[in-house]
Structure 1
């Protein structure tokens, strides 16, 4: 994460050098990847209440396991979710975004829907949950700002925002439904992990390919 932050601040990760960093979709996608790494630390490192590896306990409680020690959700599930979605899909979307900005923009579906998944339970009376702080302070503002930037860009606009949100919804739905199927005994452990590894591809298919015709040519970049 530190290397990525250094590149964001001191390097030039823009896809379109004719616009400032904060108005460039590719740069913002790299920033979203760094933000998600920080979000992972709150979830799986030390949360805002000082609890270590708190997310798994919260996830287990969501599925009815009061004691994490008795929870049947495998720890490998969390690894299979986070590495493909954050460490692979984020950079891949940013790199592809140099040619197709809609694909880079589609990555924000993960942030936007994930922030809702943290904020909605808190508003409903559940109080703090691991990941809530970074969702409120980083995910939500960054997502709204990038949506505003997308509204100003030819080839993106409202259709791209709709595709981005749909991609995020589908990704999270596949994640939770596959986990529910595993806990109900309808899906094996290896199949559960395989679904999570393939799941980010849906994000690209929905938010990227749907919008390819709206951004078929490379964005302008200075040599």
Structure 2
């Protein structure tokens, strides 16, 4: 199997081990300073791995849920594909959050933007379950981890005076904006395929 294909299909199997390693590393590095910005951004990465475990491993099924309930595509792996999911979760989550944890000074607003992304992501999971009146993969960790963590971090920064009310609004706005390229990755090919089907139908008629 090609390495990229292996990553696309099996990356989620590493999540429990990575999460445990992340917890151990976090304790070793930040136990004496648990609320520094570096520690909080590093903690966000570990929390994301737990969330991704729920979405894609146990119980899993986020990709299939989205294709079925959101897109009604009739296909388990389209338009939300294995490769697309791997790209988003590794490239769009792990990489920027890890960089913010490593370089919290120059990349502080990267970390803050992904805090906003986390908060908005939690709201989307909750709203989706309310809309369809059904569990969606990622809901439990959204309620138990994402919401309290992201709100707690923003409240902590506000209490320190390191984030103003206007800046917190900007953080949330960035969280919304950051969802747009993720949505486009799946929505654009879906809309193109639907438009092509309509064109073929008209031509055939």
State the TM-score, normalized to the length of structure 1. Answer: 0.70
Give the aligned partner of residue 100 of structure 2: 93
Aligned mate of 1:64, from 72, 82, 91: 72
Whether 1:183 aligns to 2:195 is: no
Q: How does 1:98-177 map to 2 (within 5 A)?
A: 98-99=105-106, 101-177=108-184
State the TM-score, normalized to the length of structure 2. Answer: 0.76
Instruction: Label 1:77 to 1:100 Cα distance change in 2 as closer, same or farther (>3 A).
Output: closer
Determine if contact 2:62/2:137 at 8 Å carries over to the other structure: yes
Determine if contact 1:73/1:183 at 8 Å carries over to the other structure: no
Give the aligned partner of residue 210 of structure 1: none
Equivalent pairs counted in the alignment come to: 174
Partners of 2:84 and 2:107 in 1: CA distance: 31
Instruction: Give the structure with the larger helix fraction.
Output: 2
Higher RCO (CA-CA < 8 Å; seq separation 6+): 1
Give the aligned partner of residue 41 of structure 2: 29
Deviation (angstroms), 1:108: 0.4
Aligned mate of 2:82, from 75, 82, 89: 75
Deviation (angstroms), 1:177: 2.9
Structure number with bigger Rg: 2
Whether 1:44 aligns to 2:56 is: yes
Gaps spanning 5+ residues in structure 1: where?
48-52, 187-223
Partners of 1:113 and 1:138 in 2: CA distance: 13
Root-mean-square deviation (Å): 2.1
Partners of 1:163 and 1:124 in 2: CA distance: 27
Q: Which moved more, 1:90-99 or 1:105-114?
A: 90-99
Q: Which moved more, 1:133-142 or 1:106-115?
A: 106-115
Secondary structure at 2:192 match in 1:
coil
